[in-house]
Amino acid sequence: MSGAGSNRRTLLWLQSGGCGGCTLSLLCAEAPDVLTAFEAAGIEILWHPALSLETGAEVREIIDDILQGRRRLDILCLEGAVMTGPDGTGRFHLMAGTGTPMMEHIRALSERAAHVVAVGSCAAWGGVTAAGDNAAGAVGLAFEGPRPGGLLGGEWRDESGLPVINIPGCPVHPDWVSETLAQLAGGEMTGEDLDDFARPRAITGTLVHHGCSRNEYYEYKASAEKLCEIGCMMENLGCKGTQAAGDCNRRAWNGSGSCITGGYPCIACTEPGFEEPGHPFVETPKVAGIPVGLPTDMPKAWFVALASLSKAATPRRLRENATSDRVRIFPRRRERKP
């Protein structure tokens, strides 16, 4: 039990409607690992489903201690969407051994926590769990898709005036979690650090496009036509790296790469509604040959003009390599005249 005078910040991590992939990603944290990162930030884990030994009645006792004020809760993390079905009762997901809907425990704990954090796109806005007709009534903590709402509502604020902090991703990058929690634990998070979706700007201040290994192909609109090819995937293969917030290509996953460097287009998993783009993930919808999803902040006329100019100036090396599964034409040094 944490002492009232302890400088360590306590954390409780719950899982609701989802796959547990954000925890799996968190466990892959490197330099430092998640336990070292939490220790350095002064975070004490009251309970985490994958990191703690307590189960069953022991976990319920921890939760009861928090709700009765016997334990302090500084940070409540939820992974997975809140399940409100059927018909708003929440009885599709009951906390084991209590007979009470999980959403009621989440709501009560949120009122006790100094800060509330939605880990992953499911907890933030419903995510994949809310796809289709959403018979389960899956919602985020403070958003339902791109609209404020969810379990707590868009107007909900913690004791310091902060909203639910949304750490997006499917799954999240482990560093996004550890850095955000460290900022909260240190009392350094302010409203100015969050964007319009209450996501930390440290994550969403850049686009996935920034740092992409295929940027030279993008600049000349030298496009891949199949997944196995190395050209830009925006024009034909549904890549949304120019529209999606995140530093995925600047902050390597598992020490080595990202979705794009692994040969798969960005599906904008940090954005609300990514799970239902209205078309296959690996296809780019077009109108009159122009991609529907244009880069963020770029007017259509500018894109068309620049794309036409870029294609006309595409070096043979890029044009031919773009539709190959490997580099076949290598850069050549320009011969200097004597």
Report the percentage of the chain scoring pLDDT > 70: 98
Cis bond leading into 291, ω under 30°? no
Instruction: Tell me the mean pLDDT in the region 264-286.
Output: 95
What sign does the CA torsion over 59, 43, 197, 205 have?
A: negative
Q: List, for residues 136-164, the tens digit of each pLDDT value.
A: 999 999 999 999 999 999 999 999 999 99
What sign does the CA torsion over 14, 17, 21, 22 have?
A: negative
pLDDT at 102 over 80: yes
Single-letter amino acid code for the residue at 172: V
Phi, psi of 277 (to 5 degrees): -75, -10
CATH class of residue range 9-204: alpha beta
State the pLDDT at residue 298.
78
Span(s) in the chain for CATH 4.10.480.10: 206-327
pLDDT at 4 over 50: no
pLDDT at 3 over 50: no
Distance separating alpha carbons of residues 239 and 166, to the nearest angstrom: 23
Q: List, for residues 11-57, the tens digit of each pLDDT value.
A: 999 999 999 999 999 999 988 999 999 999 999 999 999 999 999 99
- Supply the pTM of this predicted model: 0.93
pLDDT at 267 over 80: yes
State the pLDDT at residue 6.
66
Distance separating alpha carbons of residues 127 and 140, to the nearest angstrom: 8
pLDDT at 103 over 80: yes
Distance separating alpha carbons of residues 109 and 181, to the nearest angstrom: 17
Let me know: does 248 contact 240? Beta carbons within 8 Å: no
State the pLDDT at residue 253.
87
**Maximum CA pair distance of the chain?**
86
Report the percentage of the chain scoring pLDDT > 90: 84
Span(s) in the chain for CATH 3.40.50.700: 9-204
CA of residue 168 relative to chain centroid, distance: 2
Report which of 218, 220, 235 is spatially closest to residue 290, judged by C-alpha positions: 235
CATH T-level assignment (fold) for domain 206-327: Cytochrome-c3 Hydrogenase; Chain A, domain 2 (4.10.480)
Predicted confidence band of residue 240 (pLDDT cuts 50, 70, 90): very high
**pLDDT averaged over every residue in the chain:** 93
Predicted confidence band of residue 248 (pLDDT cuts 50, 70, 90): very high
